[in-house]
């Protein structure tokens, strides 16, 4: 029987982990739920075989279409409409599996339906696909199933995902032009270094001329690119791998999260996006009936910034010690006075979820303005970079040409 590692949470929010034998990951999830636990992650033990009874591994598929935020947004909105209309969950998912254009999501939904027909709950059936459905997503599904409010949970998820899709589209749109310009600059530099500069070097070598310093620098760069391009590619690949590996480590992820908030020009935009996500998600979980401490824990794990997640974890510790939500959040120094004041008003009036929604709406409007300002800021910077390139090339390539006449006269 295969062995699985698992992590779960009990009804008091205490984290548990361990390993057990089970027929499948779904079977283990059912065992944990029957014991009053909420499964968070289940993975097969690497290298563990089940002998002659083991099933052949599924061939790995290449170029599998990714399930995007927009795919999930459409799925959640359609699930809300179908469940709200009184259609059973299994029937609703069956219909969506037949109509969705994303093959990866369609295959996942088909397997979810199979699990539902075998008696699994929706959240357990969906836990087979952690790359599609996040822990935050699944925890809300658990709440919806337990409270009989699954349709509204899907509606809230659809609204949140719509916000994420909108922000992602606007950021990509703002960065498209700079990326194209930078790409064109890199291509131009390669062409100049590989073809133009060597031609000038041969011309001056035949005339026994002494090349100016800017030209010699360009020539050395060109020579390195032409003769050691494989080494250059190796350095780039290794550096990329090393940076990615460090960022994926616990310490590196926290450090990278901190750096993101301090990146010139875009750091403030990233910060506001994280604040918007925090306010919207916390409002969502509070409306779903989750306690403040558990809700903030869930939101902290879903911010996509390890440094901010660590700070939010500190908020839950302070709340557990008796601090109010506003006082605990204020001590992180990550949240502006607007959010603190709105939470204080919410604590006094009992409408934190509603006021957090207003905060998220405000910051979403600010993000729209910030994205426009980002485009206006990047364009002159690119012009300066292009101007600097032209100046360097003019000095390096054309300065010797201006001395050509004097060299000819000397001969």
- Write out 41-105 in H/E/C secondary structure: EEEECCCCCCHHHCCCCCCCCCCCCCCCHHHHHHHHHHHHHHHHCCCCHHHHHHHHHHHCCCHHH
Residue 57 lies in a domain: no
Residues 100, 28, single domain; the answer is: no
Q: CB count, 10 Å around CB of 374?
A: 20
Residue-range definition of the domain harbouring residue 42: 3-50
Based on the fold, state whether residues 183 and 151 are members of the same structural domain: no
Residues 39 and 133 in one domain: no
Domain count, the chain: 3
In a domain, 55, yes or no: no
- Residue closest to 176 by CA, chosen among 408, 374, 325, 404: 374
Given pLDDT bands bounded at 50, 70 and 90, which one contains residue 147? Answer: confident
Mean pLDDT for all residues in the chain? 83
Give the C-alpha separation, 35 to 20, whole Å: 14
Tell me the three-class secondary structure of 169-200, residue by residue: HHHHHHHHHHHHHHHHHHHHHHHHHHHHHHHH
Asked if residue 370 and residue 295 are part of one domain, the reply reads: yes
Evaluate if residue 51 carries a pLDDT over 50.
Answer: no
Return the percentage of the chain with pLDDT > 90, whole number. Answer: 22
Of residues 98 and 63, which shows the higher confidence score?
A: 98
Q: Which of 302, 286, 294, 272 is nearest to 347 (CA)?
A: 286
Rounded distance, CA 64 to CA 60, Å? Answer: 10
- Is the predicted pLDDT of residue 62 greater than 60, yes or no? no
- Least confident range from 9-13, 109-113, 366-370: namely 9-13
- Judge whether residue 57 has pLDDT over 60: no
Phi, psi of 20 (to 5 degrees): -145, 160
| Residue 356 sits in the same domain as residue 273 | yes
Q: Are residues 37 and 97 in the same domain?
A: no
The answer to whether residue 34 scores a pLDDT higher than 50 is yes
Instruction: Specify the pLDDT at position 133.
Output: 92
Beta carbons within 8 Å of 81's beta carbon, 6+ residues apart: none
The mean-pLDDT minimum among 70-84, 201-215, 309-323, 351-365 falls in 201-215
- The pLDDT value given to residue 53: 34
In a domain, 60, yes or no: no
Residues 113, 216 within the same domain: no
What's the pLDDT at 377? 85
Position 61 in a domain: no
14 plus 74 within the same structural domain = no
Of the candidates 308, 300, 301, 315, the residue with the CA atom closest to the CA atom of residue 260: 308
Q: Looking at the DSSP assignment, which residues form a beta bridge with residue 114?
A: none
Instruction: Indicate if the alpha-carbon torsion angle 276, 280, 283, 289 is positive or negative.
Output: negative
- 193: Cβ–Cβ under 8 A, 6 or more apart, which residues? 218, 221, 222, 225, 226
Q: What is the pTM of this model?
A: 0.72
In degrees and rounded to multiples of 5, residue 13 shows phi and psi of 90, 5
Specify if 177 maps to a domain: yes
Q: In this structure, is residue 64 part of a structural domain?
A: no
CA dihedral of residues 136, 138, 139, 145 (deg, nearest 10): 150
Q: Point out the least confidently predicted range of 181-185, 208-212, 330-334, 386-390.
A: 208-212
More confident residue, 95 or 389: 95
Q: Are strands 15-21 and 38-44 parallel, antiparallel or unpaired?
A: unpaired
Please report whether residue 203 resides in a domain.
yes
Q: Is residue 62 part of a domain?
A: no
Structural domain ending residue among the three candidates 161, 189, 211:
161
Are residues 358 and 260 part of one domain?
yes
**Quick one: pLDDT at residue 333?**
84
Helix, strand, coil tally for the chain in percent (to 5) = 75, 5, 20
255 & 356 share domain: yes
Alpha carbons 99 and 369: distance in angstroms, whole number: 37
Tell me which of 138, 161, 184 is where a domain ends: 161
The stretch 141-149 carries a mean pLDDT of: 85
Q: How far, in Å, CA of 128 to CA of 123, rounded? A: 9
**Nearest alpha-carbon partner for 58 in 39, 44, 42:** 44
Give pairs for 299-303: CB < 8 Å, separation 24+.
299/136, 301/135, 301/136, 302/134, 302/135, 302/136, 302/277, 303/274, 303/277, 303/278
Is 153 in the same domain as 215? Answer: no
What are the C-alpha distances in Å from 261 to residues 173, 246, 276?
21, 18, 14
Task: Say how far apart CA 140 and CA 57 lie, in whole Å.
Answer: 32
For the cut 50, the answer to whether the pLDDT of residue 38 exceeds it is yes
Q: What is the CATH number of the domain that holds 287?
A: 1.20.81.30
CA dist., res. 282 & res. 348, Å (int): 17
- Is the same domain home to 282 and 301? yes
């Amino acid at each position: 029987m295969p062995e699985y590692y698992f992590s779960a949470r009990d009804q008091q929010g205490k984290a548990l982990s361990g390993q057990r034998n089970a027929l499948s990951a779904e079977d283990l999830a059912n065992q944990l739920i029957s014991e009053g636990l909420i499964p968070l992650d289940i993975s097969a033990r690497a290298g563990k075989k089940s002998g002659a009874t083991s099933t052949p591994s599924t061939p790995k598929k290449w170029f599998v279409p990714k399930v995007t935020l927009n795919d999930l947004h459409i799925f959640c909105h359609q699930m809300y409409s179908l469940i709200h209309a009184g259609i059973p969950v299994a029937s609703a998912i069956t219909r969506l599996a037949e109509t969705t254009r994303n093959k990866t999501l369609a295959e996942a939904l088909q397997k979810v339906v199979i699990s539902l027909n075998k008696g699994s709950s929706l959240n357990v059936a969906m836990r087979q696909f952690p790359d599609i459905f996040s822990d935050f997503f699944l925890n809300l599904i658990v709440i919806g199933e337990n409270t009989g409010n699954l349709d509204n949970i899907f509606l809230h998820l659809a609204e949140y995902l719509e916000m994420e899709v909108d922000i992602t589209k606007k950021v990509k749109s703002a960065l498209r032009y700079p990326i194209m310009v930078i790409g064109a600059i890199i291509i131009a530099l390669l062409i100049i270094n590989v073809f133009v500069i060597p031609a000038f070097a041969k011309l001056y070598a035949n005339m026994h001329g002494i090349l100016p310093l800017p030209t010699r620098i360009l020539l050395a760069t060109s020579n390195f690119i032409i003769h050691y391009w494989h080494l250059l590619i190796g350095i780039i690949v290794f550096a990329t791998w090393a940076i990615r590996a460090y960022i994926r480590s616990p310490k590196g992820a926290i450090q990278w999260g901190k750096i993101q908030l301090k990146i010139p020009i875009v750091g403030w935009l990233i910060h506001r996006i994280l604040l918007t996500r925090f306010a919207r998600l916390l409002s969502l979980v509070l409306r779903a009936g989750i306690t403040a401490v558990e809700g903030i824990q869930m939101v902290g794990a879903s911010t996509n910034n390890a440094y901010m997640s660590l700070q939010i974890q500190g908020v839950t510790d302070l709340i557990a010690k008796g601090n109010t939500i506003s006082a605990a959040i204020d001590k992180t120094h990550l949240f502006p006075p607007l959010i603190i004041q709105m939470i204080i008003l919410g604590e006094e009036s009992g409408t934190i979820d509603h006021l957090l929604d207003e905060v998220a709406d405000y910051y979403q409007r600010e993000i729209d303005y910030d994205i426009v300002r980002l485009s206006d800021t990047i364009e002159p910077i690119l012009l300066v970079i292009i101007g600097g390139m032209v100046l360097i090339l003019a000095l390096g390539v054309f300065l010797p040409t201006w001395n050509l006449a004097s060299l000819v006269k000397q001969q």
